[in-house]
């Protein structure tokens, strides 16, 4: 069961033609991942205070159809894979009113310390992200 974050498209999100600027989808994915992790009990502020950081190691987006000014988008987020020092997320971004898929994105986050050196994921983080809301293991 994916985590869903709804995002309203404002004028500032679009280009001069009223179409969502392509790079903004990365921001929407970032917001969705943060909300997903928080919903799983992973407090990002607490991790930062402990010297545990997530950095984007890889991102791939496939644009299928444009979002437009005034749309409400639903960003569906699931964990595709949890490795020893990284988490790979899959995002489907859809127009909420119709369910039309606009963007497919896959983003891999690496876990690092304050010196940006790879850091093994703590077991509580692995356990939290490997179990989705319906108890299904990835």
Query: What is the set of active-site residues?
Result: 15
- List Cβ<8 Å contacts ≥24 apart for 116-120: 116/53, 116/55, 118/85, 119/52, 119/85, 120/84, 120/85
Can you tell me the distance from the alpha carbon of 31 to that of 47, in angstroms, rounded to the nearest whole number? 17
Can you tell me the distance from the alpha carbon of 133 to that of 136, in angstroms, rounded to the nearest whole number? 7
- Return all residues near 84 (Cβ < 8 A) that are at least 6 apart: 120, 121
Can you tell me the distance from the alpha carbon of 28 to that of 6, in angstroms, rounded to the nearest whole number? 9
């Amino acid at each position: 069961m994916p985590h869903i974050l709804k995002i309203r498209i404002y004028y500032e999100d679009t280009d001069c033609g009223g179409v969502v600027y392509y790079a903004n989808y990365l921001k929407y994915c970032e917001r969705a991942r943060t909300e997903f992790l928080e919903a799983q009990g992973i407090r990002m502020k607490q991790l930062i205070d402990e010297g545990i950081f997530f950095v984007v190691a890889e991102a791939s987006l496939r644009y299928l159809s444009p979002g437009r000014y005034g749309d409400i988008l639903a960003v569906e987020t699931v964990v595709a894979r949890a490795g020893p020092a990284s988490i790979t997320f899959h995002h489907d971004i859809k127009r909420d009113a119709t369910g039309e898929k606009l963007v497919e994105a896959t983003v891999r986050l690496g876990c690092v310390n304050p010196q940006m050196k790879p850091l093994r994921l703590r077991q509580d983080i692995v356990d939290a992200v490997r179990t989705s809301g319906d108890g299904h293991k990835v």
